[in-house]
Amino acid sequence: MDEESLKKYEQELGWCIGRLRDNLHSGTLSDKQAKEAVKTLKSLESPKAPIPKKRMLMRSTFGDYRAQMELENDKFKIAPSLKDQTKPPMTSQFFKKSAQQTNPAGTEFRFNFGSATSARPPPTDTPGPSTSSHLNFQSSDNSFRFNFNGS
């Protein structure tokens, strides 16, 4: 089988399996029909079952399943004229979600300013012992020079 026919077979198999599951979950089948559907479903889902057997099961269960698939696809297709109308607008829109935060107790949140646990004095801008007096800047003699004369 080439890739195209294998892909089509996988679509057909998936459609048949989906229809069988829908029928089983709908609860409208009799006990005999439900048992037969479960048996068919197990055979279709089995990786060991040969492809001709699966095709035979699909045809015996659904009849002309390919025509049914086409009818279902045509039924749920969107008309081309409707596709053109659903284009998104060319401009961007920004929606800001805002929320108001309230405290349940009615008190405002504070960072414990002025409490006994934070008894550290506030920092001051007055300099203590000058750190600049410890620096001793020495200028260089600039003896190194690049020679760009080209000689």
Query: Is 116 part of a structural domain of the chain?
Result: no
Q: Mean pLDDT over residues 73-79, rounded?
A: 75
Structural domain includes residue 110: no
Report yes or no on 35 lying in a domain. Answer: yes
Residue 56's Cβ-side half-sphere holds a number of Cα atoms within 13 Å equal to: 6
Percent of the chain with pLDDT strictly greater than 70: 68
CB 18 within 8 A of CB 10: no
- The answer to whether residue 68 sits within a structural domain is yes
Whole-model pTM: value is 0.49
| Boundaries of domain holding 46 | 3-78
Q: Would the pLDDT of 60 be above 60? A: yes
What is the pLDDT confidence band of residue 133, given thresholds at 50, 70 and 90? low
31 is a domain residue: yes
Choose among 50, 56, 76: nearest CA to 16: 56
Domain count, the chain: 1
In a domain, 149, yes or no: no
Whether 58 and 13 have beta carbons less than 8 Å apart is answered as yes
What is the reported pLDDT for 66?
87
